[in-house]
Structure 1
Amino acid sequence: MRVRRAGDAALLVETDDLAAAHRLHAAVRDAALPGVVDVVPGERTVLVVADPARCDLGRLAARLTDLPLPASASEDAPPVEIPVVYDGADLEEVAELTGLSPEEVARRHAGSSYTVAYLGFSPGFGYLTGLDPVLHVPRRASPRTAVPAGSVAIAGPYSAVYPSQSPGGWRLLGRSDLPLWDVRRDPPSLLQPGTRVRFVPKETP
């Protein structure tokens, strides 16, 4: 674990892997350290934002390295199941890129176990690790100006579901009607760092 200053009001903690980042995120969140105002996990980092008027960053850095980490973050919780209709606009193209049939692309995508590495890009957008390496394909050369909410997509080593309509260059495999972002929910995002996810194939209505 390596702790670096990130400006005048934050520390960036570098961990060895995704699981360690999730464990540290959970530990800092649960410890409710005085002066800490936000904790933002990444794939192998945790950004700890503090109020300099209430917290000495040097002492906080020392505290972080000594903080007991839980055995796991949320790995023991049941996975969030996301129903998917595999009829995406890029399904055929992904099949051509991977040398698989569209049915096999869908089967492999649904057959993997995913973990939310971190949230980013837009509210509730979770970067999911665990994608079958055969399905690691590049982003589209020309991004779409509007990707529909609920679109299930892949790009590089990640999979994701677009929580709301937005521009995007990921390749679309299908769609889901499960709301991932709801301001009336607490928390609004259904997915959180460390959440396990499973995609469940659904017949075309």
Structure 2
Amino acid sequence: MHARPCGGHAVLLEVDGSAAVAAVVAALRAAALPEVRELVPAARTVLVEVAPGATPDRATQVARDAGADAGEAGTGTVHTIPVVYDGADLALVAETAGIGTDEVVALHSGAEYRVDFCGFAPGFGYLSGLPEPLRQPRLESSRTAVPAGSVGIADVYSCVYPRRSPGGWRLIGRTDTVLFDPSAERPALFTPGDRVRFEPR
């Protein structure tokens, strides 16, 4: 792990991959260090912001000690998302994978995913754990508007669009589950380290 100073009150922790990110975030949350103000996980980094006047030294040490737990699957929070598999790109995904649409549904719903990090839009989680046959590139041209609740895949990730927005992921289904509610006590449903399962409806 590499620790790089970032501004006057933060450190950027560079790790080997998403499993290490999840382990570092879980360890820092469990440590509950009073100087830590915010954690921002990404695909291979965790930004740790501390209070003015504090140093990130203790947080960095906690992160280094978490290395042994880098293989953990995620937190204890598991979300089950009901999905109607009728997405606009379902047939394209099946054709690209060389399988039937029923097998696409079985593969996608049979896996357990981990929220590696959130970004792009509030409540948008990047969910790792996509089965190998479904690992496909984004569309060549992005859509100008993807409906909220759309379930998509791209590269090694699956996702659920929390609100209507542009997007280039291959859409395979939809859900009525609310991913982001700014009026809720916890606006975003997904937190990095959470686990997600999709249930066909």
Cα distance in 1 for partners of 2:44, 2:102 equals 33
Opposite residue 66 of structure 1, the aligned amino acid is Q
Which shifted more, 32-41 or 149-158?
32-41
- The SS at the match of 2:127 is strand
Opposite residue 81 of structure 2, the aligned amino acid is I
Which shifted more, 180-189 or 120-129?
180-189
Cα distance in 2 for partners of 1:20, 1:180 equals 25
Quote the residue 2:177 is aligned against: 178
User: Is the 2:9–2:54 Cα contact (8 Å) retained in structure 1?
Assistant: no
Instruction: Describe how 1:76-87 pairs up with structure 2 within 5 A.
Output: 77=76, 79-87=78-86
- 1:71/1:98 CA distance change after superposition, 3 Å: closer
- 1:76/1:31 CA distance change after superposition, 3 Å: closer
1:123-168 deviations in whole A, cap 9, x for unaligned? Answer: 0000000000111111011100100000000001100000000000
Cα distance in 2 for partners of 1:193, 1:108 equals 23
Instruction: Describe how 1:130-145 pairs up with structure 2 within 5 A.
Output: 130-145=129-144
Cα distance in 1 for partners of 2:113, 2:30 equals 24
Quote the residue 2:8 is aligned against: 8
TM-score when normalising by structure 1: 0.87
1:68-98 deviations in whole A, cap 9, x for unaligned? Answer: 5496878362521000000000011111111
Cα distance in 2 for partners of 1:23, 1:96 equals 36
- The SS at the match of 1:28 is helix
Cα distance in 1 for partners of 2:23, 2:157 equals 21
TM-score when normalising by structure 2: 0.89
Percent of counterpart pairs with the same letter?
A: 49
Instruction: Describe how 1:1-205 pairs up with structure 2 within 5 A.
Output: 1-51=1-51, 53-56=52-55, 60-61=56-57, 63-67=58-62, 69=66, 75=74, 77=76, 79-202=78-201
Which shifted more, 164-173 or 29-38?
29-38
Q: CA deviation at 1:114?
A: 0.4
1:10-59 deviations in whole A, cap 9, x for unaligned? Answer: 211122332322222133234343443211112222101234x3223xxx
Structure 1 residue runs without a partner (length 5+)? none
Cα distance in 2 for partners of 1:108, 1:55 equals 47
Q: CA deviation at 1:106?
A: 1.2
Opposite residue 49 of structure 2, the aligned amino acid is V
CA-based RMSD: 2.1
Cα distance in 2 for partners of 1:179, 1:40 equals 22
- The SS at the match of 1:137 is coil
User: Is the 2:75–2:194 Cα contact (8 Å) retained in structure 1?
Assistant: no
Which shifted more, 6-15 or 99-108?
6-15
Cα distance in 1 for partners of 2:43, 2:136 equals 19
Cα distance in 2 for partners of 1:152, 1:2 equals 34
Q: CA deviation at 1:6?
A: 2.1
1:181-204 deviations in whole A, cap 9, x for unaligned? Answer: 1123232111110101000000xx
- 1:35/1:7 CA distance change after superposition, 3 Å: same
